[in-house]
Chains A and B, each alone.
Chain A
Amino acid sequence: MKRALGLYATALYLFLHLPLAVLAVFSFNRSRFTLWEGFSLNWYTAAARNEQLMEATWNSLVIAAVATAAATVVGTLCAYGLWKKPARWLSTSLTLSLVTPEIVLGIALLAFFQWVFRFLNVKLGLDTVILAHVSFSIAYVVIVVLARLRTFDPGLEEAALDLGATESQAFRRVTLPQLLPAVAAAALLAFTISFDDYVITSLVAGVDSETLPMVLYAMARRGANPMVNAVSTVIVLGLGLLVIVSERLRES
């Protein structure tokens, strides 16, 4: 019974990880077909020379960085406020935004932006993508930070207040320093989610704000292209590293 379970688990772990491993292996294939013809870095250099890919990567990095910064600040403040005194409607709303299908959130934001544009002279672009990303990242930040806050002793802040600190001093000098690892973990998570998003982004992006997932998506649909394997491998390794660091910070 125990051995069978171990074998089963091994098979399932292979199912979870082999597809990505095979994808990575073939990114080093010399041939453009799915037959191994020897090791080469051609597809990596080709990807690095591809202007569309590089521009999209830059866009994705800018969007993820700005959206993460904003979502982390707003989400951390929100988690702190909720920890002090729960606000049921706000946590319910955040949960709701988390379970809303991406496609619904995307078209709702598209309809919203189009409606706002009637009154303002702007159009879809990097800024609309960033706003969308901030709105869906906040809930993740709140979850991670609030989970950490719930392990804290509220007595520490009270002690600081008794000793003459103001409310904001107690937050900045007692709670925040202990909270920083969780805040960093939340930020890394938000960055990962933002960097990878396709569905919402593709709906609210303008012509000048194509992101890396959008370019990859189009390439993947067009047909076999080992360049997609190469870029995918870099993404998995890069984001994987962020997730591992985030996990470590959360556990510390």
Chain B
Amino acid sequence: MRRLRFLFLAPAAGIVVLLFFVPLAILLGYAALTRGAYGGAGAPWTLENWVRLADPLYVGILARSVAVAAVSTALCLVLGFPLAWFIARAGRRKNLWLALVMLPFWTSFLVRTYAWMFLLRDTGLFNTALLKLGLIAEPLPLLYNYGAVILGLVYGYLPFMVLPLFATLERLDKSLLEAAGDLGARPWQAQWRVVVPLAAPGIRAGALLVFIPCLGAYLTPDLLGGGKTILIGTLIQNQFTNSRDWPFGSAASLALMAVVLALLMLQVRKKQEDLL
């Protein structure tokens, strides 16, 4: 049995080590090297890349990324909570309603982001319609700003918020609400003081599931934000393409990874549970 189980786990373990841990270890190595004259990396070993991360320019980019991710997460929560409540109370049809939230999410993230470019760009649907109706004389600058990035992130990751919220709200004992009503609470009071506290585990899980991908997002800020919104994902990508500064890019990636890990540890400690 021992040997057989080893055979079952070995391929996955091998791939995880070779294509996940070893690459991360190589980044750790790169982060300690000096950038070469032609974009390579080599001796001497240095801590300079880590020191550079403390530069106000980069601290600012990280702070902006955290702010964008936090606003997107908050919007997902505010928009997603009533929707999750609606689905949890939808009776027999709830699987259908839930599927309608998840379906676009699983199809194509790229197409979903492109759909907003199509709607928001200068020659896009909104501007064309408004121009045609004579409501505006010049196209509105709807695309390539932080608002568009946040809209894209909320649109992209709303399902990640709705799913865990739905899971906790569905299990909620309905008689608690009736009890609150009997004791004189108004419906919104019962929502706010009974339902929301009981849904706290779902809120935490949803917030984490949305915040983490928003923080490291690359595709959405690049397509909907254009060159005007530099967030940490774009910064990292730039170091490996245009700037060709692999050592610094490696340090920035590992810093992002550290933030993600710290958030994950908080959640795991709060609730002794793994995703798998």
* Residue ranges of A at the interface with B (Cβ–Cβ < 8 Å): 1, 5-6, 8-9, 12-13, 15-17, 19-20, 22-23, 26, 33-35, 73-75, 77-78, 80-82, 84-85, 87-88, 90-105, 107-112, 115, 131-132, 134-135, 138-139, 142-143, 146, 167-168, 189, 192, 196, 198-199, 203, 213, 216-217, 220-221, 223-224, 228-229, 232, 235-236, 239-240, 243-244, 247
B9 and A104 contact, CB distance less than 8 A: no
* Complex CA distance for A131 and B13, rounded to whole angstroms: 14
B100 and A213 contact, CB distance less than 8 A: no
Q: Is residue B26 contacting chain A, with contact meaning CB distance below 8 A?
A: yes
Which residues of B lie under 8 Å from residue A91 when comparing CB positions?
274, 276
A131 and B1 contact, CB distance less than 8 A: no
Known: A103-B253, A111-B250. A196 touches B110 (CB 8 A): yes
Residues 202 to 231 of chain B near chain A (Cβ within 8 Å): 212-213, 215-219, 223
The contact string, 1 if C-beta is below 8 Å from chain A, for chain B 1-26, is 10011011101110110011111101
Which residues of A lie under 8 Å from residue B121 when comparing CB positions?
224
Q: Is residue B242 contacting chain A, with contact meaning CB distance below 8 A?
A: no
A104 and B257 contact, CB distance less than 8 A: yes
B115 and A1 contact, CB distance less than 8 A: no
B125 and A33 contact, CB distance less than 8 A: no
A111 and B246 contact, CB distance less than 8 A: yes
Which residue from chain B places its CB closest to the CB of A73 in the assembled complex?
A: B11
Which residue from chain A places its CB closest to the CB of B237 in the assembled complex?
A: A103
Q: Is residue B104 contacting chain A, with contact meaning CB distance below 8 A?
A: yes
Please give me the 6 A-B residue pairs with the lowest Cβ-Cβ distance, nearest first.
Answer: A101-B216, A81-B8, A78-B12, A108-B23, A135-B19, A112-B23
Segment at the interface with A among B56-64, B81-89, B168-176, B193-201: B81-89
Contact partner, A34, options B8, B123, B261, Cβ 8 Å: B123
Residues 241 to 276 of chain B near chain A (Cβ within 8 Å): 246, 249-250, 253-254, 256-257, 260-261, 264, 274-276
Which residues of B lie under 8 Å from residue A80 when comparing CB positions?
8
A232 and B108 contact, CB distance less than 8 A: yes
Known: A192-B107, A221-B223, A239-B106. A107 touches B27 (CB 8 A): yes
* Complex CA distance for A23 and B155, rounded to whole angstroms: 15
* Complex CA distance for A129 and B265, rounded to whole angstroms: 31
Which residue from chain A places its CB closest to the CB of B6 in the assembled complex?
A: A81
Extra contacts, 9 of them, besides A13-B100, A95-B276, A216-B114 (Cβ < 8 A), are A9-B82, A12-B79, A34-B128, A81-B9, A103-B218, A198-B109, A198-B110, A224-B121, A235-B111
* Complex CA distance for A103 and B233, rounded to whole angstroms: 6
Which residue from chain A places its CB closest to the CB of B275 in the assembled complex?
A: A95
* Residue ranges of B at the interface with A (Cβ–Cβ < 8 Å): 1, 4-5, 7-9, 11-13, 15-16, 19-24, 26-27, 30, 79, 82-83, 85-87, 89, 97, 99-101, 103-104, 106-112, 114-119, 121, 123-125, 128, 132, 155, 158, 187, 212-213, 215-219, 223, 233, 236-237, 240, 246, 249-250, 253-254, 256-257, 260-261, 264, 274-276
A142 and B19 contact, CB distance less than 8 A: no
Which residues of B lie under 8 Å from residue A85 when comparing CB positions?
5
* Complex CA distance for A111 and B250, rounded to whole angstroms: 9
* Complex CA distance for A196 and B201, rounded to whole angstroms: 31
* Complex CA distance for A155 and B16, rounded to whole angstroms: 31
Number of A-B contacts defined by CB within 8 Å: 237
Contact partner, A220, options B16, B117, B213, Cβ 8 Å: B117
A239 and B107 contact, CB distance less than 8 A: yes
Which residue from chain A places its CB closest to the CB of B253 in the assembled complex?
A: A104
Known: A6-B86, A92-B274. A16 touches B264 (CB 8 A): no
Which residues of A lie under 8 Å from residue B24 when comparing CB positions?
108
| Least distance between B261 CB and chain A CB atoms (Å) | 8
| Least distance between A151 CB and chain B CB atoms (Å) | 16
B115 and A20 contact, CB distance less than 8 A: yes
* Complex CA distance for A110 and B85, rounded to whole angstroms: 43
| Least distance between B247 CB and chain A CB atoms (Å) | 10
B216 and A104 contact, CB distance less than 8 A: yes
Known: A93-B21, A111-B30, A229-B118. A99 touches B104 (CB 8 A): no
A19 and B112 contact, CB distance less than 8 A: yes
Which residue from chain B places its CB closest to the CB of A32 in the assembled complex?
A: B123
A107 and B128 contact, CB distance less than 8 A: no
| Least distance between A57 CB and chain B CB atoms (Å) | 14
A77 and B12 contact, CB distance less than 8 A: yes
Contact partner, A77, options B11, B16, B246, B253, Cβ 8 Å: B11
Which residue from chain A places its CB closest to the CB of B187 in the assembled complex?
A: A1
A115 and B26 contact, CB distance less than 8 A: yes
Which residue from chain A places its CB closest to the CB of B80 in the assembled complex?
A: A12
A19 and B100 contact, CB distance less than 8 A: no
Residue from A6, A100, A239 with most neighbouring chain B CB atoms (10 Å):
A100
| Least distance between B37 CB and chain A CB atoms (Å) | 18
* Complex CA distance for A142 and B97, rounded to whole angstroms: 26
